[in-house]
Chains A and B, each alone.
Chain A
Amino acid sequence: MATEEMDGGRALIRALEQEGVDVMFGLPGGAILPVYDPIIDSSIRHVLVRHEQGAGHMAEGYAHATGRPGVAMVTSGPAATNIVTPLCDAYLDSVPMVVVTGQVPYAAIGTDAFQECDTTGITQSITKHNFLVTEAQDIPRTIKEAFHIATTGRPGPVLVDIPKDIVDPVNPRSAMTWTDDVEMDLPGYHPQTAVDLDLIAAAADLMRAAERPVLYVGGGILKARAADALRALAELTGIGVVTTLMARGAFPDSHELCLGMPGMHGNYTAVTAMQESDLLITLGARFDDRVTGKLDGFAPEAKIIHVDIDPAELGKVRRPDVAIQGDVRVAIEALVDELSGNGTGDADRSAWRSRISGWQERYPLAYEPWVPGDPLKPQFVIERLRDATPDDTIVASGVGQHQMWASQYWTFDHPYTWINSGGLGTMGFSIPAAIGAKVAFPDREVWAIDGDGCFQMTAQELVTATVENIPIKVALLNNSYLGMVRQWQEMFYDERYSEVFLSPDVPDFKMWAESMGCVGIRVDDPDEVDVAIAKANEIDDRPVVIDFRVAASEKVFPMVPSGATNSELMVPGFQEGQPR
C-alpha cells in the first residue's frame, strides 16, 4: 500500500483529483488560503468567480449539464454565507454538488473569530449532508464520503467545512499520511436502488386497466439517466407524457406522445390531461404545489403510481395507490419488461386520445400576435432564438416570466439541454449556471435566457466568463420590470404596482456588457431580432449579451391562479369561450 507524508491542503486537492474533478469554481480568502497553493500544481482547472454565489450556481450548471458533481471552493464566513443560496437551490432541485468551505482554525471555533460563522449549522437543513473536518487525517475519507453521498440515492449538495490549521503546512496539525485506499464509514447511509417486482406487477396492472392514463415525469428521470427508458415505456404503451419544469427535455417535445409542461404555467393539454386522468404514472416527480395547484382539487379521479428513489417523497403530498421506492430507470425498465412480457392490456383509450387532440387543437400555447406599433414580444424572441440555434443548444434560465416563456416556447428534444432553478426559484441563476454548462461543453452553444431583474443580481459573472474565456451568450428579455410580480399585481392586486418598476435606461445593458468584455447588442424592433441573433452566433471568442427591449404588458398564459384548482386554468383572452 502506497503511503506518503503530506499536509492536509495537498491531501484535499489530491482527494478531489482522485474523485475525477476536472474543474472547480471558487474564490480564495484567509481561511482557505493554504488549499489554494497546491491548486497551482493541480490538474484541476479553477475558475475564479467574482462572487461566491456565482461559484455555487456554476457548479450546479456544470452538474445539470453533465450529471457529474459540480465542485465549488470558497473561504469561511461571508464566503460561506454567500454560497448558502446555491446550496439550497441544489438541495431543492437534487443537484449533485460538493462545496468546500474554509473555516477558522479548529481551536478558534466558537470564539467569534474573524470571518467565522457556523457554516455547518447554517447549512444543515439545506444540504443532503455536511461535515466539519477536525483532523487532517480525516480529509481524504471525508471527501470520498462527500462525493458518494452527493451522487448516490437522491442526489444533492454536500458541504465540507475545513478548519485552516489542518490544511496549513506551517501548522503541525496539518501533518497526515496519505494512503491510496481509504474506506468510507457511513453506517447510516444505504440508498436503495433496486425495485420490488411485485409492486412493478401491481403498477403494470393499473396501467393495463387505465382508460385515461398520463405519464407524469419529473427531474428524477434526468438524474437517473432514464430518458431512453422513458421513451421506450411511452412508445410501448402509447401513453402521453407531461414533463415538469425540471424534466423539460427528458422526453422530446417533438414526439407525438409529448403533452408538454404541466403546472401553474403549463400548457392547457398537459394540465387538463392530468386533471381528468384516471391514472398518473408518476416517475421521479414530487407533486410540487406549482404542479398540483390546490391539492384538494388535484386530479380527483386519478389513481397514483409513484416511483421515487427517496422514500420520503412517497405519500408526502399525495397518497399513492402503488408506491415504488428505487431508481426510476430500474423501475421503468422493469415496467417495460413486465408490459412487453404480459401485454399492455386492451383498455379502450380512443375517447381519451380524441379528447387530448381536441385540447391540443383548441388550446395550443399561443400569444396575441404582434401588430405594427407594438413593442417586441418576448415569446417571439424565444421562438426566433430557438429556430436559429442548433438542436443541442443548452439553455439556462433565470426565474420569472422569461423562465416560463423559455420553458413553453423552446423545443426541448434532448435531455440535459434545459437548466433552471425550479424548486428554490433563484433569481440570477442563469448567467452563472450557463457558465458552468459552457465550461463542461465548450463546443456547444450555451444561451442564458435572462430577465432584467435577474441579470442585475449576478451579471458580474460575465467578467468571469470573459476573463476565463467561457463565451456564453445571453438573451436578456428586458421589460424594465420585475415582470412576474408585475403580472400578479396586475391580475390580483387591482393593477396597483408596488416596487416592480426597475428602469428602462439604467443601467445601459449594452454598455454594461461591453464594460465586462462582452459584445453588447440592443434590439428594439422585431425585424432586428434575427440579425442580432445571427451576429451573436458568429461570435465565439467572448460572451455576447443581447438586450431585447420587450413589452412590459405581456403576461404568461395559461395560468392557474394561486390557491385555485387546475380546473380553473386561465387561458389568454383570445382563447376564452371555446369548449373545454
Chain B
Amino acid sequence: MNVHEPEHRYHTLVVTVENKSGVLARVASLFARRAFNIESLAVAPTDDEDMSRITVVVDLESAPLDQIVKQLDKLVNVVEIRELAPGHSVERELMLVTVTAEPDRRDEIVEHLDRAGGKVLSLGTDRMMLSLVGPPRRVDDFEDLLREYGIIELQRTGRVALPSLDDALD
C-alpha cells in the first residue's frame, strides 16, 4: 500500500480482491456506508483466476484518501490496494457512442474522430456508432465535442489503470 499525498480531487485506486461472489457489493456498500463518493468504477478478472481487480476513482472531497484506503483495506476480501497518483499511471477508458450524423455532417465527425484516435463501428442512415479508447480527459473532450451533433446513446466503461513503467520499476 503506497499512499501519496493527495494533490488532486480524484484519485485512482487499483484494488485487488478475492474473486468471490458479493465482493463488489461489499466494496460498494462500504463506500455508501462511509459516505465516500465514487467517480467511476470498473471490475474485471485478472491473470490470477482467484483474484479480480477493481479500478475505482474516488472523490477526495467526500473523504480523505488515507481514510478511504484504510477502510477498504479492512474488508477481508480485499487483498491489495495500490494508489495511482495522477502523473504516475497510465489510465484508459472506452466510450461507445451513437451520434446523430446526417450525411452532410459525417465527414466533419470522422475528422474529429480521427484526430482523437477513435473508430467508426457502424453507420446508419442518420446516425453513426463510434468508439474511442483514451485517457479519460480526452474521452471527456470528445464527448463534449459530439454533444453539438446530438448524442443518441452513450456508454463509458469507467477507467482502468496501471502504474506507469517508470514507477512500476521502482
Give residues in A with beta carbon < 8 Å to B: 120-121, 124-125, 128-129, 132, 149, 186-189, 310-312, 314-316
Q: Which residues of A have CB within 8 Å of B74?
A: 310, 312
Q: Which residues of B have CB within 8 Å of A125?
A: 29-30, 32-33
Q: Which residues of A have CB within 8 Å of B66?
A: 315
Task: Contacts A187-B18, A315-B67 given; indicate if A121 touches B75 (C-beta within 8 A).
Answer: no
Stretch in contact with the other chain, from B76-84, B93-101, B131-139: B76-84
Task: Indicate if the CB atoms of A312 and B76 lie closer than 8 Å.
Answer: no
Bound form: Cα–Cα A247–B104 in Å: 77
Task: Indicate if the CB atoms of B26 and A186 lie closer than 8 Å.
Answer: no
Task: Contacts A188-B17, A188-B77 given; indicate if A132 touches B70 (C-beta within 8 A).
Answer: no
Q: Which residues of A have CB within 8 Å of B22?
A: 120-121, 124, 132
- Asked if B46 is an interface residue, CB under 8 A from chain A, the answer is no
- Asked if B73 is an interface residue, CB under 8 A from chain A, the answer is yes
Q: Which residues of B have CB within 8 Å of A120?
A: 22
Task: Indicate if the CB atoms of B79 and A124 lie closer than 8 Å.
Answer: no
Task: Contacts A188-B77, A188-B79 given; indicate if A121 touches B25 (C-beta within 8 A).
Answer: yes
Q: Which residues of B have CB within 8 Å of A129?
A: 75-76
Task: Contacts A187-B18, A188-B17 given; indicate if A124 touches B76 (C-beta within 8 A).
Answer: no
14 contacting pairs across A/B (C-beta < 8 A): A120-B22, A121-B22, A121-B25, A124-B25, A124-B26, A128-B76, A129-B75, A149-B76, A187-B79, A188-B17, A310-B74, A312-B71, A312-B73, A315-B67
Identify 17 new A-B residue pairs, CB closer than 8 A, beyond the known A124-B29, A125-B30, A189-B76: A120-B22, A121-B22, A124-B25, A125-B29, A125-B32, A128-B76, A129-B76, A149-B76, A186-B76, A187-B18, A188-B17, A188-B76, A188-B79, A188-B80, A312-B67, A312-B73, A312-B74
Bound form: Cα–Cα A195–B75 in Å: 22
Task: Contacts A124-B26, A125-B33, A132-B22 given; indicate if A316 touches B67 (C-beta within 8 A).
Answer: yes
Query: How many B residues, CB 8 Å from partner?
Result: 23
Give residues in B with beta carbon < 8 Å to A: 17-18, 21-22, 25-26, 29-30, 32-33, 64, 66-67, 70-71, 73-80
Bound form: Cα–Cα A68–B113 in Å: 65
Q: Which residues of A have CB within 8 Å of B77?
A: 188
Measured CB to CB, the closest approach of chain B to A551, in angstroms, equals 41
Q: Which residue of A lies closest to B68 (CB)?
A: A312
Which of A124, A128, A149, A311 is the one whose CB lies under 8 Å from B73?
A311
Task: Indicate if the CB atoms of B30 and A312 lie closer than 8 Å.
Answer: no
Bound form: Cα–Cα A311–B74 in Å: 9
Q: Which residue of A lies closest to B1 (CB)?
A: A311
Q: Which residue of B lies closest to A132 (CB)?
A: B22
Q: Which residues of B have CB within 8 Å of A124?
A: 22, 25-26, 29
Measured CB to CB, the closest approach of chain B to A198, in angstroms, equals 19
Q: Which residues of A have CB within 8 Å of B78?
A: 188
Task: Indicate if the CB atoms of A311 and B70 lie closer than 8 Å.
Answer: yes
Bound form: Cα–Cα A124–B77 in Å: 12
Bound form: Cα–Cα A146–B26 in Å: 17
Bound form: Cα–Cα A128–B32 in Å: 16
Most buried by A among B33, B64, B70: B70
Q: Which residue of A lies closest to B30 (CB)?
A: A125
Q: Which residue of B lies closest to A124 (CB)?
A: B29
Measured CB to CB, the closest approach of chain B to A170, in angstroms, equals 27
Bound form: Cα–Cα A341–B136 in Å: 57
Q: Which residues of A have CB within 8 Å of B73?
A: 311-312
Bound form: Cα–Cα A128–B74 in Å: 8
Q: Which residues of A have CB within 8 Å of B71?
A: 312
Q: Which residue of A lies closest to B50 (CB)?
A: A187
Task: Indicate if the CB atoms of B67 and A188 lie closer than 8 Å.
Answer: no
Q: Which residues of B have CB within 8 Å of A311?
A: 70, 73
Most buried by B among A129, A132, A310, A312: A312
Q: Which residues of A have CB within 8 Å of B32?
A: 125
Q: Which residues of A have CB within 8 Å of B29?
A: 124-125
Q: Which residue of A lies closest to B81 (CB)?
A: A188
Q: Which residue of A lies closest to B77 (CB)?
A: A188
Bound form: Cα–Cα A129–B74 in Å: 9
Q: Which residue of B lies closest to A149 (CB)?
A: B76
